[in-house]
Chain A
C-alpha cells in the first residue's frame, strides 16, 4: 500500500486552518466598498401583495437601494426553476408553478422574499427594512400535507389545481392489489415522516460583485455546487451569460443538501451590486435560515406489506403524499419519486412493489433533498412495516429480515422498482451487527433495566441506499435536466506539485485529504505535494458538485481516470528516457520502471522532462503534464448496512435515552476510515435527531412554530451516546476504485432502528419524533387499555 494511500486514516490536511480560526467562509469575505443587504420577508403564510411603498425606506440613513419583485420583472429574469421533470400517471407533465426571485402578486409562505434593502451597514439595512410598507391582503393558508389536495383547501398557485404538483406512480397497481388479496397476512401502517430543518451550522451568505468594465459578475456564496449555481443563474434566471458570471464557494460550513439549491438572496446580491456599483453582502441569521433554507422530508404515507404463510414478502403497496412547500425547489420533484420509490425493495426479494406519490404545494417553506433525500423516507417505511409484521406474526425481527434478504449469490439483482444492485452481502452485515450488538444477551440487559425501573427496547434497520445518481442517460430519461457525471483534472507543475482540480466541492467531507490520498495511491505523490482546488467556476473544470454521496464514487473515479492518463503519458516519456519499449514500462509507487530491471525514473523526473522537453523528440508527446477526465458511472452505487439500536425509556417521564447504537455498513472500498467513521457519526446524529427530537411544526394557520433553537430541538452532545461503528465490504463492481459512498447512510439507517427500539420498549408504535410526552402518553394509553381488559 502506498504511504497515506487508500485505507490509511490520514489526519485531515484542511484541519489546520479550521482549528486555528483561519478558515474562510463566505461571511469572512469582505470586499472593498461593500454594502449590506437585508431582506423584507412575508409575515403571512399566504397573502396578496397589493403594493409596496419603498419611499420611506429609500430615504432612511445609509440606504442605497430597495429592490422588489418589480425590479426582477423589469430585468426580465426567469424564476428559480425546478430541474427535474416528473410525469403524472397519465404521462402529462407535472405542474411546477412559478417561483419568482422576489415575490410578485402574492406571498406564499412566512419568510417569502418581498423586498431587499441595501445600505451602508447591515444595521442600517435592517433598520430601513422596517420602513418598507407592504400592503398585504391576507388569505387563508394551506399547511397540511395530508389535506393539501382536498378541493376545500386554498390554492397556493392558481395554475396548479388542487395544489397537486403531480400524481406519479411506479409499478402496476392492479397486480399488487391481487397479490395483497391473495396474501396469508397483510401488515398495514400509516406513517408520518416528520419535516426537519437541515441546520448547517454556517448560515447561508452571499457577496455579489459587478465589474462594469467587463460587464461580469462574481458571486461568493455558500454552495455545494458552484457550477450548478452558475448554470441555473445563467441559463434559466438569465442573470448573465456563463462566461460573465463567476461563482466562488469558499469554505462551506455544512450543507446536508440545503446548499445545493439556488436561492433568491444570492441572485439579488448580484442585482444589487450591479445597481449600486459596489459589492453587496448578505449574511443570513439563524431565524432567516429556519424561514428560507429548504426543509427536508415531510411525507404522509399509507402502506401495506403482504406475506405468504411462511413469512416471505410477496407484495408491497405504498401511497405517499409529499409536501413540496410553497414552491418547487431545484431537485424537489425527484426526491419523493426517483430517490424514494426506487428504494422500496430495500435489502429484500419482495417480487412486486407499487408506489403512488402525490406531491402537493402548501404555504410552507420549500422542501427539497436533505441528507439521504428520499432514501431515509423509503427506509423508514420499509423497516417499520417489516418490524410491525414481525411483531404481528410473532417472529424475531432479525430472522424475518434475514429470511427475505436478497442472497449473496443473487447479485447483480434486478429489483421490481427499476434498480439493479451490483453487489452486496446483507447476511454478512446483519451477522456482524448482531455480534457487535451482543444481541443474544439482550434479554439480560432488558432485565437489568427493568430492575432499575426502566423499559429497554431493541430495534433493527437494514437499509440500502443508492449513491452517485447516474448514468446521465438514465437520469435524463427519468426527467433530470442535467447530466450527473463528474470531472477532474490533474496538473503537475515543473517542481512536481500535483494540483487536483475537481468539480465536486467539500462542505466538511475532507476532499482535500481524500483526493490527496487517491493521488498518493495512484501516482505515489506525497500527500503534502497535492493541492486540491475546488469551489471556483473560473478555476475548476465544469462539475456537478457534492451531494448524494457522489464525490468519491463519481468525482474520485474521474480523478483516478485522470491519473491513469498521467501514467499513460508518463510511460511514453519514461520509455524514451530509459531507452525501452513503452510496453515494457511499469508504473508503481511513483516510479516508471523497465520491467525486470532496476532501471527507473521517478514521476517527478518525468514531469520535469515533460515541462523542459529538451530531450524529448518532436511528436512523441505534447509538452506539459496535465490531464483531465470526465466520468459518467454505469450505475448507482449501493451502500447497505444493518443498524441496531437499544433504548431505555423512563416510564415516569417518557424520556427516551439511546444506550447503544451499532452501525455496520458496507461502503465498498474505504479510502480514509477515519473520515468515513466521522461521516457515519454525523449521519447517525441527524437520524437520531429526526427520530427523537427534531420537528418542524407549522400551526394550522401556516405560522412556523419551531423557528429557532429555542423551539427546534437540535441534538446536543448529552442527547447522544458514543457510537459503535464497523464495516463489512463488497466492492462496487462498476467503478475501478470499488467505492460506494458513505455520506448519507447514518441518516438513512438510523431513524427506523431508533423508532423500532422505542416501539419494542413501550409496546406501542408512535410517530416520529418520539418526544417524551408522546412516549408518556403512549404508556398511559397502554395502562388504560390494560386496565380495561
Chain B
C-alpha cells in the first residue's frame, strides 16, 4: 500500500491505496465521488475527464500516485459550491445531455477548452471533443451549449 495525498475539490485528502490504483478508482471508490464515470478501458471515451492542476486529463489513464500533491477538480466540485457552473447551466439549457453518462467528462473537457480558447469556432469545438464520446446526442446540442456558454462567459 502507498499513501496518497491530494486536494480534491478544495479539500485535502489522504488515503492508503494499492499502487495500481487509478485516479478514477481513487475518486469513485475511495472518496465516493461517483460523478466521474468510466466508459472505456482504452483511454478514448472521456467519461472520466477531471482537472488535475487545472488541466483536463483522463482519470482512467493516470495512477492516483502520479497525482500525489496535485489539485484535482471533479464534476462535483466544478461549481465550487455556488449552484451551477455556467457550462453546467448551458448543457441543461441547450439539452446537451440525454442519458447523462458522458456528461460529467464532457463538461469538464468543455470547461478546459474555454480556458484555452475563449471564443472557439464550431470546428474548434468539434476538434477539441476528440477525446469525448457521446452516444446519445449526436454532439449537435453539446456543440451548441459550449458555443453559447463561451459567448455568455465572454459577456
Chain A interface residues (CB < 8 Å from chain B): 11-12, 14-25, 27-28, 123, 199-203, 251-254, 256, 285-287, 507-510, 674-675, 677-679, 681-686, 708-710, 714-718, 720, 722-723, 746
Contacts and interface: CB of A to CB of B under 8 A. Distances in A.
B148 interface: no
Contacts of A285: 38, 40-41
Interface centre among B79, B88, B136, B139 (most CB of A within 10 A): B136
Contacts of B144: 722
Nearest to A686: B135
Given A256-B135, A718-B127, A21 B40 contact: no
Contacts of B138: 681-686, 715, 720, 723, 746
A716 B100 contact: no
A289 B134 CA distance: 16
B129 A710 contact: no
Given A681-B141, A717-B125, A508 B98 contact: yes
B130 A718 contact: yes
Interface string B127-151: 1011011111111111110000000
B107 to A, nearest CB: 7
Contacts of A22: 35, 76
Contacts of B136: 201, 254, 508, 678, 682
Given A15-B97, A19-B97, 8 more contacts: A23-B35, A25-B37, A203-B38, A508-B99, A709-B133, A717-B139, A722-B140, A722-B144
Interface size class of B (residues with CB under 8 A): 35 or more
Contacts of B45: 201, 286, 709
A740 B27 CA distance: 43
21 contacts: A12-B92, A14-B100, A19-B92, A19-B107, A20-B75, A20-B88, A21-B75, A22-B35, A200-B99, A201-B133, A201-B136, A253-B101, A254-B98, A285-B40, A286-B42, A679-B98, A708-B41, A718-B123, A720-B126, A722-B143, A723-B140
A299 B41 CA distance: 30
Contact of A718 (B47, B79, B126): B126
A510 to B, nearest CB: 7
B74 interface: yes
B98 A199 contact: no
Nearest to B103: A18
Contact of B35 (A21, A123, A253): A21
A27 B29 CA distance: 10
Interface centre among B89, B93, B122, B137 (most CB of A within 10 A): B137
A22 B84 CA distance: 13
Contact of A675 (B75, B92, B95): B95
A714 B135 contact: yes
Given A11-B92, A708-B41, A201 B134 contact: yes
Contacts of B47: 201
Contacts of B35: 20-23
Given A21-B33, A28-B34, A509-B98, A254 B143 contact: no
B68 interface: no
Given A21-B35, A708-B40, A508 B20 contact: no
Interface string B50-66: 00000000000000000
A253 B17 CA distance: 29
A456 B22 CA distance: 47
A23 B100 CA distance: 8
Given A684-B138, A714-B133, A717-B143, A202 B92 contact: no
A584 B102 CA distance: 53
Interface centre among A123, A201, A674 (most CB of B within 10 A): A201
Contacts of B5: none
Contacts of A287: 41
B44 interface: yes
Contact of A18 (B34, B42, B97, B143): B97
A201 B39 contact: yes
B141 A286 contact: no
A681 B137 contact: yes
B26 interface: no
A19 B103 contact: yes
Contacts of A718: 123, 126-127, 129-130
B33 A201 contact: no
Contacts of B97: 15, 18-19
Contact of A716 (B38, B75, B133): B133
Contacts of B44: 709-710, 714
Nearest to A19: B88
B115 interface: no
Nearest to B92: A15
A717 B107 contact: no
A17 B99 CA distance: 11
A658 B20 CA distance: 43
A199 B88 CA distance: 25
B18 interface: yes
Contacts of A507: 99
Contacts of A14: 100
B11 to A, nearest CB: 15
A788 B140 CA distance: 45
Interface centre among B28, B89, B97, B132 (most CB of A within 10 A): B97
A678 B137 contact: yes
A679 B138 CA distance: 9
B126 A717 contact: yes
A661 to B, nearest CB: 10
A20 B76 contact: yes
A23 B97 CA distance: 12
B57 to A, nearest CB: 17
Interface string B80-121: 000010001101110101111111100100000000000000
A201 B99 contact: yes
A14 B98 CA distance: 9
Contacts of A510: 98
Contacts of A286: 39-42, 45
Nearest to A23: B100
Contacts of A23: 35, 100-101
A715 B133 CA distance: 8
Contacts of B40: 285-286, 708-709
Interface centre among A19, A27, A715 (most CB of B within 10 A): A19
Interface centre among A16, A18, A710 (most CB of B within 10 A): A18
A251 B123 CA distance: 32
A678 B135 CA distance: 12
A11 B92 CA distance: 7
Contacts of A19: 75, 84, 88-89, 91-92, 97, 100, 103-104, 107
Nearest to A285: B41
A335 to B, nearest CB: 20
A682 B129 contact: no
Interface centre among B20, B42, B98, B102 (most CB of A within 10 A): B98
